[in-house]
Structure 1
Amino acid sequence: MAKDLVCGMYVDEDKTPFKLKRGDVTYYFCSKNCLNTFLAPERELHQLKILAAMALILGGLTAFFEYIYPVNWPLHNYLLLFILATPVQFIAGWKFYEGTWDAIKARQANMDSLIAIGTTTAWLYSTLYMLQTLNLVPSIFPRIATGGPEVYFTEAGLIIGFVLLGRVMEQIVKGKATEAVRKLVDLQPKMATVLRDGEEKKIPVEQVVVGELLVVRPGERVPVDGVVIDGHSYIDQSMITGESMPVEKKVGDEVIGGTINMSGVLKIRATKVGADTMLSQIVKMVEEAILTRAPMQRLADRVAAYFVPIVIVVAISSFIFWYLIAGKPLGIALMSLISVLIIACPCALGIATPAAIMIGASKSAQHGILIKSGEYLEKLSKIDLIVFDKTGTLTKGEPRVTDILALDGFAENDVIELALTLESGSRHPLSEAVRKLASSRGINTPRTIDAFEEVPGHGLRASIDGRRVLLGNLRLMKSSGLNIDEYIIERLKLLEEDGKTAILLGFDNRVVGIIAFSDTINENAAEVIDRLKWMGIKVALLTGDNSRAANAIARKLGIDLVFAEVLPTDKACIVRRLREEGKVVAMVGDGINDAPALAEADVGIAIGSGTDIARETGGIILVKNDLRDIIVAVYLSRKVVRKMKENLFWAFIYNVVLIPVAAGILYSLGIMFNPVFAAVAMATSSITVTLNSMLLNRFKPNTKQH
């Protein structure tokens, strides 16, 4: 069953006719009211405010003339109360009737059913009692002789007023939650300047196509995602990534649609347009996060689904007990029935977790942290082990060649030329380091390769001019039958103990060179790991590097658990093994290269994905390449889950404690719940939950203090 995004009810996708498809996501609703609320929140909120004000004002006047200053001229008091209460019942309260009718069509009860049944019972009884008092109909109900109220027009009106007030508060919190998403949508410029036939033309941004050239001047927003092909500038990306300072952009750099060009003129080539842009993907991701259910919601969903029919049975049973078994006056039995129906309305239960998730998901998006679903948000709060991939995560992923050792009569440039030849088609960071070194030495004519084979996790094999050439780790050399003497082993050990990654160059049956690389440790890595350990989270390092180099990095960063020499295909197995040991595991890595391990983890965290967030496997995506966002994400998840628990407590406590009171369990002590107080308690429950969730808007990331 799906979640009604508006009221939080549990909806059967096959039964409800109220659904909406937006992009790849289908939303399901329990009633037409909820569908309209989703489509036009501002209009719905304005209407709700008017109806709530009308109900409370007329309900207040009804209470005044019923309890404080009854009048019998020029109209009978009951007739005056009827005139004041009826517009509330059928104008302000019409939405509850629509919701009830929709529930009947969908063959499942909803929250509106309880309000409609309870207030209609009060209004109908009061109307018939008024008519028989005025001798307009035969006497149906016995006259109240106990001194209590004879009619319940006030109760019917104020119940609707307070329920509507609670819904106003709910809509306000939902508006706050989606405000950040709406602001993101508004960032998309309406027009773009394109270069067509050598001339600049202004066109609607929807008409821009992939590959088209665009001009972005200072002060303008970048229309779509693209790559800079000419110019130099600084871009304000704060509204997308949360970065406080403008980011330098030069030829070859990515730019994000909706960001602001601060200085120079840029010429960009469009790479993503329409629904494929990062802006559209963020909006879609936040909407999906709001839509999905966290595990904690499942209990609330099940309770809400069965709660309404059970409450109706309890209310009717209460009425039967007091009127037919206990022989109490009809008014007392009616008060019990109406009070149970009203106070048991599970509005707060329905919004307890979605309200917190909505604000949490939108708040995280403001800081460049995209959470795919409430399930990941909840799991992240429980993690006790974070596994980091090394290259490009704990290190910058920009290795440089530090040492070249030429052996067996080969010169350094010979080693570089052969390595360049084998690495010519690879996108691995080490390959890029070799190309940079070759370029700096003027070596740019790699030899022709006769045959080529990539050995995953080991290296490369090739045939050049009929000679066998290998480039890779020690395991590749040994498995290929090359002679490895003690001198080579000793040099490898020294390089690796210094934290360097070393690869060997094999030629025919011998090793002719060693190339060592060093990758710069991320400047925030030590701070983040220290902070995570302070938060009670263990940290592990997972890498394909040799154990000596991996342990050298781990010692510098204070990491105790190291998994080294792990093949790419085995990374997921390591994560699975850790989970089988009972740990709640988060994996941090490149969302594309480390996809299997991210998918295997309880929470996959993809970092530094740029504009290509749609390809990411991780349940949580860090748009910026900033490890400190992991701390922000964990902190926020813990705050959101704490709010979810608090909300569920308040929602359950109101219902569990007050339903027996409403049913009359304290009647022997002279306490009988008035339906108005039931409405106030129910509205207070919803308001408590929404206000508590809104406190998340005050969240500010703090990664510095212990």
Structure 2
Amino acid sequence: MDNQIEWKVRGMTCTNCAMSVDKQLKSLGLKDVEVDFMQGLVRFQDTDKISLDKIQDGIQGLGFKVEKTADQNNPAETTLAEKLLGTPFKRFIFCLIFTVPLWLHMVLHLGILHNPIFQWALSTVVLIIGLAYLGRSAWHSLKSKVANMNVLVILGALAAYGYSLYGTLTGRPENFMFYETSATILTLVFMGNYLESRTVAKTQASIKSLMLQQTIMATMLTYGADGTEMTFQVPSEDLKVGDLVLIKSGELVPTDAKILSGQVEVDESILTGESLPVHKSKADILIGNSQIVSGNVRAYINATGKDTVLQHMLRLVEKAQQQKAPMQLLADKISAVFVPAVLILALVGFLLNYFIGAGGFTEALMRSIAMLVIACPCAMGLATPAGIAVGLGRATKKGILFKNAHALENFRYIKNIVFDKTGTLTTGKLQIDGFQHIETITDEGFKQILYNLEKYSSHPLATTILQAFKARPGTAVSSEQDIRFSKVEEIKGEGMRGVTKEGVTYYAVSARKARTLTATNAGTGTDATAMTIDPARHLYLLRETTIIGWVSFKDEIRPEAAQTIQTLKAAGYSTYLVSGDSNANCQAVAGTLGLDHVYSEQSPEQKQKTIRDIKQQAPVVMIGDGINDSPALAEATVGVSLSSATQIAMQTADVLLIREGITHLPLALGLGKHTYTTIRQNLIWAFTYNVLALPVAGLGLLSPSFAALAMGLSDVVLGFNSIRLSWKKVI
């Protein structure tokens, strides 16, 4: 069976780098190839047909370095040169030391600074470093037939260096002294690489904070033969599913666990971004790496390693980052032909300046070099990943998980918001809304009859009755109302039936069944105390065929629902309730929350059709949590599910709200829209920069040195615009 391999690869700095690696791996016949240059990750499905050594050699043959192998997961051997110059910042500082003296000759008149041999020596050191890193990358990109930005940089630096060397060797240095241009281009590109790496690191910061795993010492519980409880400390990575642990106040939860006993307040901000502690007790799940604020619990481990909630979140976020939004596909196509196009334009610019311009060969060459180094395909490649990384990072802090990048972009179209009712707008916890009975029965007698019938049922209505009507110790009821049943049975889908030892039959049934049972009394006037049937009342108590009481229930509305819907409506969204519940219940919830449209008593198939009909008017978001919501979630433009949802609903949805409830739904919608806006701004900047920069350089308005500086800063502007998304108002 194939297994996924994940390698850390150093040296990928742009989309073109990722494209060359992707092309190389697919040419080897590998499947499910994923290349993420922002995180420096390469994933693919392992296969017995190709050795991992051959795959690794193929990647390293492109000029990149596999930092970790799949089988040992050990860091690759690091050379002395890599230790000294292994980061863009170190390379920038090293080259800067040799480049600064070349700048000084323009302002100081010291003889050695103007010596061509001295300038040649300094620039040669910088050129060697440039060729070792940028040149190697350029050469391998040409071999893979996906030319990257470094091809332009190296050609520009070599042109200036070669022109200066020609002047030095021919004894005419006064007209050919451009060593500083060559060194400056390479030094500023290294500076740009450093700034770009910082920008990318910032966009990844919120996600990386989730990845900071530390070894947590867990207190493991065991019991001796005599039942004595014993504890001992073990590292969290040694825990296995089923192990018992004791977690005390102030400690970190070692890994996902389910509480067996005790109550705690838990800080889950690592997962949700919320600073307020969450109360948890028996049967609740504790998330690994969250912190116990107060209280102690005994719990058993229910997930470790890759199966934990935190790791599942990280995989979803990484997968979403690796997917290309539709806008990025256009940028990738342009990037693929960008470098050849710039080379042609630079050549055309040189010819025009030489034959038509008034500057001669030297001026034409300098302008052509400026055109080469000012072009920035990286900006186009970074535009979408940077925006998506920041958007996903901010969403993750609030417990919003986008399972794919398309959902982010699709949010900009949304006009309609469709909610399921039970478990989405309501908590799913039923409460008794009211009850009534005939005058000959007391409240306590009515409650006891229902209690004795419903205690044999597992239906949610029965559970609610048992919790509300259980007789308190010392409660007195008359002997004739202390009903004892000799036989109790469930009427499938309708309610309960009980027969007393005297042979009297009682029913606790739905309105529909009550109507059937009382049909024989219609118009006969056999019982003046008989009660009418109202479908809004959920449960009827009957003695034989006569109604003697009823109970109505209500589903508790989520505390955040009203404010969330108010925010959505203020933002211009149309709101819908689509539920399988009765029309009366749906209308009550919709009226309380101010929803615009109501579709009640819907089967799963009808829900799906309703979503399809609404979607024909305008794109729609569906929020649901049950198995019956899955077809509708799949039908919607974007499906949203809650952390308390069924597994199939979570798998079908595009977006997961990790914190129980819909509080952050407006933020999810806002982040989707503004992430798209940020990506669009980034792409506009990248295209505009390149369209304007090339003619500006070609007209001689910028020297090659300033062109290199502009190229480096172009990514910084783009990065800052992306990072701005982490704090800007989106709702």
| Bin for the TM-score computed over the shorter chain | 0.7 to 0.9
TM-score, normalised relative to structure 1 = 0.81
2:288 corresponds to which residue? 257
Q: Which residue of 2 aligns with 1:59?
A: 99
1:563 paired residue number: 599
Contact kept? 1:484, 1:510, Cα under 8 Å = no
The aligned counterpart of 1:68 is 107
Is 314-323 or 410-419 further displaced after alignment? Answer: 410-419
Determine helix, strand or coil for the equivalent of 1:232: strand
Which ranges in structure 2 are unaligned for 5 or more consecutive residues?
1-8, 27-32, 45-58, 70-74, 77-81, 225-229, 474-482, 500-504, 524-529
Give the drift of 1:435: 5.6
By how many angstroms is 1:484 displaced? 10
Mapped pair 1:492 → 2:534: yes
Shift of 1:506: 11
- CA distance 1:622–1:5, change in 2 (3 Å): farther
Separation (CA, whole Å) in 1 of partners of 2:166 and 2:489 = 97
**CA–CA distance in 1 between the matches of 2:323 and 2:540?**
50
Kindly indicate whether residue 706 of structure 2 is the aligned counterpart of residue 687 of structure 1: no
Given that residues 71 and 77 in structure 1 are in contact (C-alpha distance below 8 angstroms), is that contact kept between their aligned partners in structure 2? no
The total of aligned residue pairs comes to: 656
Is 1:104 the equivalent of 2:112? no
Alignment partner of 1:252: what SS? coil
- Looking at structure 1, the residues matched to 694 and 214 of structure 2 have their Cα atoms a distance apart, in angstroms, of 50
Counterpart residue identity of residue 414, structure 2: I
Among candidates 170, 174, 182, match of residue 200 of structure 2: 174
Q: Distance in 1 between matches of 2:399 and 2:43?
A: 25
Judged with a 3 Å threshold, the aligned counterparts in structure 2 of structure 1 residues 89 and 595 are, in CA distance, closer, same or farther, namely farther
Is the 2:417–2:576 Cα contact (8 Å) retained in structure 1? yes
Matched, 1:646 2:686: no
Residue number among 580, 587, 608 corresponding to 1:544 in the alignment: 580
- Amino acid paired to 2:603: L
* Counterpart residue number, 2:14: 7
- Residue 14 of structure 2 aligns with an amino acid whose one-letter code is C
In structure 2, distance between residues paired with 1:37 and 1:328: 52
Contact preservation (8 Å) 1:237, 1:260: yes
Q: Pick closer, same or farther for the CA change 1:693–1:494 going to 2, 3 Å.
A: closer
* Secondary structure class of the residue paired with 2:260: strand
Q: Letter of the aligned partner of 2:722 in structure 1? A: S
Cα deviation, 1:285-327, whole Å, max 9, x if unaligned, reads 2222322222232222222122122222222333344446779
Helix, strand or coil for the counterpart of 1:370?
strand
Tell whether the 8 Å contact from 2:627 to 2:649 is kept in structure 1 after alignment.
no
Partner of 2:55: none
Q: Cα gap change, 1:617/1:511 in structure 2, threshold over 3 Å: closer, same or farther?
A: farther
The 8 Å contact of residues 138 and 151 in structure 2, kept in 1 or not, is answered as yes
Deviation string 1:170-209 (CA, Å, 9 cap, x unpaired) is 2112222322333223355433222235432322222211
Q: Deviations over 1:431-473 (max 9, x none)?
A: 6435645766999999787996xxxxxx5799999x9x99768
Change in CA separation of 1:303 and 1:261 when aligned onto 2, cut-off 3 Å? same
Shift of 1:611: 12
Of 117-126 and 520-529, more deviation after overlay is shown by 117-126
Q: CA deviation at 1:378?
A: 2.3
Is the contact between residue 391 and residue 397 of structure 1 (CA under 8 Å) also seen in structure 2? Answer: yes
Residue 633 of structure 2: which of 598, 623, 629 is its match? 598
Runs of at least 5 residues in structure 1 that lack an aligned partner in the other structure: 135-142, 453-458, 496-501, 665-670
Residue 273 of structure 1 pairs with residue 273 of structure 2: no
How far apart in 2 are the matches of 1:507 and 1:328?
A: 109
Residue 91 (str. 1) matches residue 129 (str. 2): yes
Segment drifting more, 437-446 vs 367-376: 437-446
The residue aligned with 2:657 is: 622
2:212 aligned residue? 186
Equivalent residue letter for 1:68:
V
CA distance in 1, matches of 2:520, 2:692: 78
Deviation at 1:250, TM superposition (A): 1.6
Alpha-carbon distance in structure 2 between the residues aligned to 1:516 and 1:614: 30
**Amino acid paired to 1:96:** L
Aligned partner of 1:158 in structure 2 is 184
Paired residues of 1:606 and 1:620 also in contact (CA < 8 A): yes
1:635 — aligned with what? 670
Distance 1:444 1:150 in 2: 112
Q: Is the 8 A contact 1:397 1:519 kept in 2?
A: yes
Q: Which amino acid aligns with 1:342?
A: V
Cα 1:281/1:472, change in 2 over 3 Å: farther
| Counterpart residue number, 1:668 | none
Q: Calculate percent identity across the aligned residue pairs.
A: 30
Contact 1:504 1:515 in 2 (8 A): yes
Residue matched to 2:231: 200
Which residue number in structure 2 is paired with residue 667 of structure 1? none
Contact 1:278-1:613 within 8 A present in 2 as well: no
How far has the Cα of 1:396 moved from its partner?
1.7
Within 5 Å, give how 1:435-454 maps onto structure 2: 436=467
Give the secondary-structure state (helix, strand or coil) at the position aligned to 1:397. Answer: strand
Aligned to 2:47: none
Task: Determine which of 670, 673, 678 is the counterpart of 2:702.
Answer: 673
Assess, with a 3 A threshold, how the Cα gap between structure 1 residues 448 and 691 changes in structure 2: closer, same or farther.
Answer: same
Instruction: Tell me the SS of whatever aligns to 1:108.
Output: coil
Match of 2:220, SS state, is strand
Report the secondary structure of 1:272's partner residue: coil
Provide the TM-score with structure 2 as the length reference.
0.78
Pair 1:306-2:342 in alignment? no
Which amino acid is 1:186 matched to?
L
Aligned equivalents of 1:613, 1:126: Cα separation in 2: 68
**Are the structure 2 counterparts of residues 580 and 611 from structure 1 closer, same or farther at C-alpha, using a change threshold of 3 Å?**
closer
Q: Measure the CA separation in 1 of the matches of 2:235 and 2:491.
A: 51
Distance in 1, Cα, partners of 2:144 & 2:433:
70
Cα–Cα, structure 1 residues 418 and 340, in superposed 2: closer, same or farther, change >3 Å? farther
2:418 aligned residue: 387
Cα distance in 1, alignment partners of residues 595 and 532 from structure 2: 26
Greater shift in the superposed pair: 264-273 or 182-191: 182-191
**Aligned: 1:698 with 2:724:** no
Cα offset, 1:163, TM superposition: 2.1
**What are the superposed Cα offsets for residues 348-394 of structure 1, whole Å, 9 maximum, x if unpaired?**
11112211211221122112222223322222243211111111221
Letter matched to residue 710 of structure 2: A
